[in-house]
Structure 1
Amino acid sequence: MSPLSATNVTTPALSASEFERLARSRLFQSPPALDAPIAPGDDDLDGRAASFPTDLTAAAVLVPVVAGSALSLILTERTEHLSSHAGQIAFPGGRIESHDATPLEAALREAHEEIALDPAFVEPLGYLETYRTGTGFIISPAVALVRPGFKLTPNPAEVADVFEVPLAFLMSEANHRIDSRIWRGAERRFYAMPYGERYIWGATAGIIRTLYRRLFTA
Structure 2
Amino acid sequence: MAGEVYAANERVTKPDQRYPDDVAVEIRKNPVPYVSYGGVKLKKALDAFHIDVRGGKALDIGSSTGGFVECLLEAGAERVHAVDAGTHQLHERLRNDKRVILKENCNARYLQFDDIGETMDLITIDVSFISLKKLLLPAIRFLKPGGRIISLVKPQFEVGRFEVGKGGIVKDEGKIEKVLEDIRTFGKSLGIVPVNVLEAPREKEKKNREYFILWESQKTQNQ
- Normalising by the residue count of structure 2, what TM-score does the alignment of the two structures yield? 0.25
Larger Rg over CA atoms: 2
- The structure where helix makes up a greater share of residues is 2
- Normalising by the residue count of structure 1, what TM-score does the alignment of the two structures yield? 0.25
